[in-house]
Amino acid sequence: MPDNNTKPPQNSGWQSDVIADLIRGFGFPYITLNPGASYRGLHDSLVNHNKNEPPMLLCQHEKVAVQIAHGYAKACGEPLCVIVHNVVGLLHATMGIYYAYTDRAPVFVIGATGPMDEGKRRPRVDWDHTANVQGNAVRDYVKWDYQPGGIQGVPDSFARAYSIMMSEPQGPIYMCYDAALQEAPLTELVKMPDAASVKKPSKIAPDMAALGDIADRLVAAEWPVLLPQYVGRVASGLTDMVALAETAGAAVSDVQSRLNFPTEHPLDCRMNTDVFKTADLIVALDCRDWERPTHYNDRINRTLKAHYPDHCQWADIGFADIEISKWAMGYQKFPQCAARVLADTELAIPALTGLVRERVAKDAKAAKRIGERKHAIKDMHDKTRAKWREQSRDGWDSSPISVARLAMEVWDQIKTEDWVLTTQAFEDWALKLWDFDKHYRWPGKALGTATQIGMATGVALAHRGKGRLVVDCQTDGDLMFDAGALWFAAKHKVPLLCVMHNNRAYYNDWEHQITVARQRGTPEERAYIGMDIMDPAPDFATLARSMGWYAEGPIENPADIAPALKRAIAQVKAGKPALIDTITQHTG
């Protein structure tokens, strides 16, 4: 107990106990962290004052700790608490925080600094690890950061940070606590947030007159296309999109930052640019990445050519210019729209569906046009998926293994299970060949290299205990960045089937170098330099086994995939992570 004559209030002896109470009180299910002396006071409070509730989950790197929280939030919509060591831990975590920001994932990052009082700093180390304004390291890509000046400012700022993080569009926040503040005795009453108080505000509702304008345009359109990007961030998003598409008779081109639409639905036209050729109206739904799916991208000349005709109009429903970073440019090019509605699509899409339904019921010509259009879209959908199935047979028996064959081998083993795919979708072959029929099947597309294994582990953690088989298509280059994440899954008993897409290269970049070589007339055969992961080739199965996983491979004969998958799935169902290393063809 602290050496003072004042009885600690609220059965707490230290100021860090207040922070621990807030973490528990706000309902975080887990804390991911890598240890650091700057938060030793808080760590002790979490272990002893909180009795390790919520549980602390040890990670080997701060970036992985953030990425696990990122994947968890993508999978279930709920945030984890992440704790990172002062300056150096925060700098390790920055890429994870940046990707969480660009992917709109709520992550509650706690850090520490100081002591800010120079008289309390240990020589050298506390000076090296203290920043003047530590939040500056991430301020440009968090929704909010704050460092309270005293213990009385901790509860209010914590509650505000949680509300900001969870308000749409969601994203990470960073709270920094002085080491001396944490380690000081608690000698005064600190008022905590009322348990019954609202932790986040209500959603942004649409202007119904403006929404009615979009409904009028949808009903009058000859060939409308819906372009959802983050609609599927909530469980209702998938079914809401189905209702709107069916009511309006509109094709859907899923931008795929979340799973916004079922892949086998007859109105699904993802990754099919032909759907835009005759479009007279495109409705962007919680979508910033509107140019990529709707334009031909000449990567060499850096020019774009629209797939849609000049007369096509655009409408936008979403968060417009809320929470745009003044530094990172993930906001994309500003769209020129005939109609724009500021609203959360969780409210706006059902409301728009109702307005369209009312109008169609009173317009026999529109109803007929919608019915005929549905048949035309279904025909386009069926032909596209038939073409993909035919293409998947190319090089079926080849070695190295084709990624399409690998995707089908996995599908054959999991299609009768309650399955989840993490991020990498087998270079889109899973989306082309599998039946994504439920909102939780896939949390959205993969992000950059050095993000995937951490996020995949977070997705698996979110589904742990639900009887679901979680599958990760794991690229080799990505795993080389964060191999320590394998230990996390074994240590914390996170069942996960990791199927390696191991082409022994950073082939996405290799492909770029081939493109440049062709344009410049330089030797294509030299494009591998600085790109291949060979000589030596990593033994991922041995690596995984050393971390406590079940593992097999490398597998080069495609006939060996199915038996290996059966054995690995049995291990996963028994609660153990399993890795199958398959050697795949070069594909970006």
Q: What is the DSSP string of 56-92?
A: EEE-SSHHHHHHHHHHHHHHHS---EEE--THHHHHH
Could you please state the CATH topology (level 3) that the domain comprising 403-583 is classified under: Rossmann fold (3.40.50)
Q: Which of 251, 275, 276 is nearest to 265 (CA)?
A: 251
Distances (CA, A) of 8 to 11, 155, 224: 6, 17, 65
Helix (H) or strand (E) holding 252: strand 251-252
pLDDT of residue 116: 85
DSSP 514: H
Q: What is the SS3 assignment for 436-480?
A: CCCHHHCCCCCCCCCCHHHHHHHHHHHHCCCCCEEEEEEEHHHHH
The one-letter amino acid code at 502 reads: N
CA–CA distance, 451 with 453 (Å, rounded to integer)? 6
**Cβ distance 439 to 259 under 8 Å?**
yes
Q: Give the burial string for 546-568 (b: 16+ CB within 10 Å, else e).
A: ebebbbbbbbeebebbeebbeeb
User: Cα torsion for 256, 262, 267, 273, to the nearest 10°?
Assistant: 30
In degrees, rounded to 5, the angle at the alpha carbon of residue 61 between the alpha carbons of residues 481 and 443 is: 70
Structure tokens at 170: 């969601």
Contacts 24+ apart (CB under 8 A), 89-93: 89/34, 89/36, 89/38, 89/62, 90/62, 90/134, 90/137, 90/138, 90/174, 91/137, 92/34, 92/61, 92/62, 92/63, 93/62, 93/63, 93/65, 93/66
- Of the options 3.40.50.10300, 3.40.50.300, 3.40.50.970, 3.40.50.720, the CATH number for the domain spanning 9-183: 3.40.50.970
* Positive/negative CA dihedral, 301, 302, 308, 311: negative
Give yes or no for a contact between 443 and 75, defined as CB atoms under 8 angstroms apart. yes
Residue among 74, 135, 72 nearest 104 (CA): 74
Q: Assign residue 516 a region: left if phi > 0, alpha if psi is -120 to 50, beta otherwise?
A: alpha
Cis ω for the linkage preceding 400 (within 30 of 0): yes
Tens-of-pLDDT digits for all 588 residues of the chain? Answer: 444 444 444 546 999 999 999 999 999 999 999 999 999 999 999 999 999 999 999 999 999 999 999 999 999 999 999 999 999 999 999 999 999 999 999 999 999 998 888 888 888 888 888 888 899 999 999 999 999 999 999 999 999 999 999 999 999 999 999 999 999 999 988 999 998 899 999 999 999 999 999 999 999 999 999 999 999 999 999 999 999 999 999 999 999 999 999 999 999 999 999 999 999 999 999 999 999 999 998 888 889 999 999 999 999 999 988 878 888 888 888 889 999 999 999 999 999 999 999 999 999 999 999 999 999 999 999 999 999 999 999 999 999 999 999 999 999 999 999 999 999 999 999 999 999 999 999 999 999 889 999 999 999 999 999 999 999 999 999 999 999 999 999 999 999 999 999 998 888 888 889 888 888 999 989 988 888 888 999 999 999 999 999 999 999 999 999 999 999 999 999 999 999 999 999 875
- Rounded CA gap, 88 and 401, in Å? 41
pTM score, whole prediction? 0.95
Q: Is 152 within 8 Å of 98 (Cβ atoms)?
A: no
Output the six-digit token pair for 59. 């990670």
What pLDDT does residue 10 have? 56
- Domains in the chain: boundaries: 9-183, 208-390, 403-583
Give CA–CA dist 216/210, Å, rounded.
10
Specify the 3-state DSSP secondary structure of 430: helix
Per-position b or e across 1-11, b if 16+ CB within 10 A of its CB: eeeeeeebeee
CB count in 10 Å sphere of residue 344: 20
Output the pLDDT for position 1.
44
What single DSSP character describes residue 45? I
Domains 9-183 and 403-583 share a fold: yes
Instruction: Report the Cα–Cα distance between both ends of the chain, in Å, rounded.
Output: 59
Q: How far is CA 279 from the centre of its chain?
A: 30
**Predicted local confidence at residue 296, as pLDDT:** 93
Rg of the chain over all Cα atoms, to the nearest angstrom? 26
pLDDT at 476: 95
Write the CB contacts of 354 (distance below 8 Å, at least 6 apart in sequence).
none
- Determine the CATH number of domain 208-390: 3.40.50.1220
